[in-house]
Amino acid sequence: MPSARELDLIDAYEKGELHLASSPDTPLRDDAFAMDDDTKMQLIAQHFREIMHILGLDLSDDSLRGTPDRVAKMYVKEIFSGLNPANKPRVALFDNKYEYQQMLVERDINLHSNCEHHFVPIVGKVHVAYFSSGKVIGLSKINRLVHYYARRPQVQERLTRQIATGLQEALQTRDVAVMVDAAHLCVSMRGVQDHGGSTVTSAYHGLFEQESVRNEFLKYLEIGKNAG
């Protein structure tokens, strides 16, 4: 016979309240992209219109009439566009002609994502670093990769791992570090309503597994904070 504690955990799991991340991959159905974007937007608008109706909103009002279509377009074409692999940025590699062998750090990349548990924003900064394996990419491509993985319903731990793996693949190197520092509006807008906290996650691979290299990376981030 399960204990009361075990029964509570079973109940929470069935309700989806444990917030367990089962995989570093975003959970998608096999037929996730069988439907074209126009059809998705049409159906989302239809269902969102029903949600607004259930909430008691007057959809004949000029301000609200177009909201279902705007939300549908925003979901598919903007804030959740990173779900579709077709939208992954194309990254061209270039020879490291400057023979720069030191750590390259890109810090304070703006992060806008959405929590997959409540579909409200996650807002913060992403800091990344890497050592060239003989190839480099344009700096803007790093930002584009970060934004690609952020534009889907996310868990911050998964997002951190996906950015790190994406950069390793793009840069053809294991020597990658990622740090994400973000505020979750599901914490500040609802529930505990804590407005001052942030969540920090990190991923260190290759040379960054060495304490001295990690400390160098963290020192660069501290310099940026002091300069700000």
Which amino acids are annotated catalytic? 115-118, 156, 184, 186
Q: Tell me the C-alpha distance between 113 and 156, whole Å.
A: 9
**Of 162, 185, 152, 150, nearest in space to 75 by CA:** 152
> What are the two backbone dihedrals, phi and then psi, of residue 196, each rounded to the nearest 5 degrees?
-110, -10
Q: How many CB atoms lie within 10 A of CB 9?
A: 14
Residues in Cβ contact with 183 at an 8 Å cutoff, skipping those fewer than 6 apart: 122, 123, 124, 197, 198, 199
